[in-house]
Amino acid sequence: MNFPKHYAILKDIHIPINENSYLQIDTLIITKKYILVLEIKNIKGKIYFQKTPKQLVRDFEGEFKAFKCPEQQLLRHLKKLQIVLNQAKINIPIKGLIVFAYSKTQIVLPPEFAKITMGCDIADHIERYNELPDVISQSIFNKLLSVIALQSTEYLPNPLAQTFPLELANIRTGLICPICHNKIINQKNCPTCKTSSRIMQQQAIEDWFYLCKDTISNRDCVHFLELKDKYAANYILNKLKLNKVNHHRYRHYSFSQSLCFKKPSITL
C-alpha cells in the first residue's frame, strides 16, 4: 500500500482524556493530509447494524449473537481524538473506517453513519485519501506524532476478578503450554511443541495479573504455578523484573511494564 512521503502507523493507542475517560485505538494512520482511525472487526457471518438499540447482530449458521456497536465505538474514538487535537491546537481532517477482516462477511444491514469496508478493499479508501492536499507542515506533523506518543500510556486493565464474580478456585493452575494447552510438570519444555517452561512461567504471571489480582506474593506464585517452594517462586518473580513492594516477609510484586504490555508501535 502506497502512502505519502511522511506518514506514521501507530498501534494500541491509549490516551487518558480525563479521570473517567480515555481514547483507545487499535490502529491509527497519520499523514500531513489526514488522520485515519481504523475500527477492525474479526467477525464472520451475516451482519446487521441494529439501530434501536445500537448493536451489531451477527447471524452465523443460524445462531444469533449481539455485540457492541462498532459504529458507536468509532464515533466515540473520533470525538475523543478531536479533543486531543484541539488541546494541541492542531487542525487536520479525521477519517474513520469500520473494517471487517473476513471478505466472506456479509453486511445485510449497514451502519447509519459510519463508512464500512472489507480488509481486502481498504487500500482503495486510503488511496483516495492520499490524493488530498497537505494541510499541515512538517513541523506540525512532527508535533502531532510527539503529542500522541507522549500522551499515550500503557493500558493496564483491572483484573477480571475485580469486575466479575470470578471464583479464583475455578481457575486452572500450574504451568500450561500456551500452544498445546498441556499442563507441564517438572519438565523444561512442552513434550508436544517444545515451548520452554520459561515462556509458560511468564504467561502464567501475566494471566495472574489479568485474572486475579494486581499484586502477587511468593505464596500466590507457589499456588498459581504449583511450585515446590517459596524459593522457586522468589527466583521466577525476580527474574521477571516485577516491581517490588515492601521487604522480606511482607514483600509482594506489582505489574512491571517491561513484562507483557508494550508501548504503541510506530511505523514511519
Residue-level pLDDT at 161: 80
Beta bridge partners of 115: 97
**2 within a domain of the structure (yes/no):** no
- 3-state SS of the chain is CCCCCCEEEEEEEEEEEECCEEEEEEEEEEECCCEEEEEEECCCCEEEEECCCCEEEEEECCEEEEECCHHHHHHHHHHHHHHHHHHHCCCCCEEEEEEECCCCCEEEECCCCCEEEEHHHHHHHHHHHHCCCCCCCHHHHHHHHHHHHHHCCCCCCCCHHHCCCCCHHHCCCCEECCCCCCEECCCCECCCCCCEHHHHHHHHHHHHHHHCCCEECHHHHHHHHCCCCHHHHHHHHHHCCCEEECCHHHCEEECCCCCCCCCCCEEC
Residue-level pLDDT at 251: 79
Does residue 109 share a domain with residue 55? Answer: yes
Percent of the chain with pLDDT over 90: 33
Does residue 93 share a domain with residue 39? Answer: yes
Does residue 136 share a domain with residue 20? Answer: yes
Percent of the chain with pLDDT over 70: 92
Does residue 145 share a domain with residue 45? Answer: yes
Counting the structural domains of the chain, the total is 2
Dist CA 13 CA 155 (whole Å): 9
Query: What backbone torsions phi and psi does residue 168 show, to the nearest 5 degrees?
Result: -60, -25
Residues 261, 11 contacting (CB under 8 angstroms): no
Query: What backbone torsions phi and psi does residue 68 show, to the nearest 5 degrees?
Result: -60, 150
Does residue 231 share a domain with residue 131? Answer: no
Residue 49 pLDDT more than 90?
Answer: yes
Range(s) of the domain holding residue 238: 160-254
Does residue 175 share a domain with residue 62? Answer: no
**115 within a domain of the structure (yes/no):** yes
**263 within a domain of the structure (yes/no):** no
pLDDT digits (tens, 9 = 90+) for 177-225: 888 888 888 888 888 888 888 888 988 998 888 888 888 998 999 999 9
Residues 208, 222 contacting (CB under 8 angstroms): no
Residue-level pLDDT at 157: 64
The closest of 255, 177, 242, 257 to 212, measured between CA atoms, is: 255
**1 within a domain of the structure (yes/no):** no
Does residue 98 share a domain with residue 39? Answer: yes
**65 within a domain of the structure (yes/no):** yes
Q: Band of the pLDDT at 265, cuts 50, 70, 90?
A: very low
Beta bridge partners of 66: 57
Does residue 139 share a domain with residue 47? Answer: yes
**259 within a domain of the structure (yes/no):** no
φ/ψ region of 97 (left if φ > 0, alpha if ψ in -120 to 50, else beta) reads: beta
Residue-level pLDDT at 211: 87
Q: Pick from 124, 153, 182: which residue ends a domain? A: 153
Dist CA 47 CA 117 (whole Å): 13
Does residue 168 share a domain with residue 130? Answer: no
Residue-level pLDDT at 107: 92
**59 within a domain of the structure (yes/no):** yes
Does residue 115 share a domain with residue 46? Answer: yes
Does residue 218 share a domain with residue 170? Answer: yes
Least confident of 68-77, 127-136, 168-177: 168-177
Residue 158 pLDDT more than 80?
Answer: no
Residue-level pLDDT at 263: 41
Q: Pick from 153, 168, 197: which residue ends a domain? A: 153
Does residue 166 share a domain with residue 135? Answer: no
pLDDT digits (tens, 9 = 90+) for 50-89: 988 899 999 988 889 898 899 999 999 999 999 989 989 9
Bigger pLDDT: 265 or 129?
Answer: 129
**261 within a domain of the structure (yes/no):** no
Q: Pick from 153, 169, 198: which residue ends a domain? A: 153
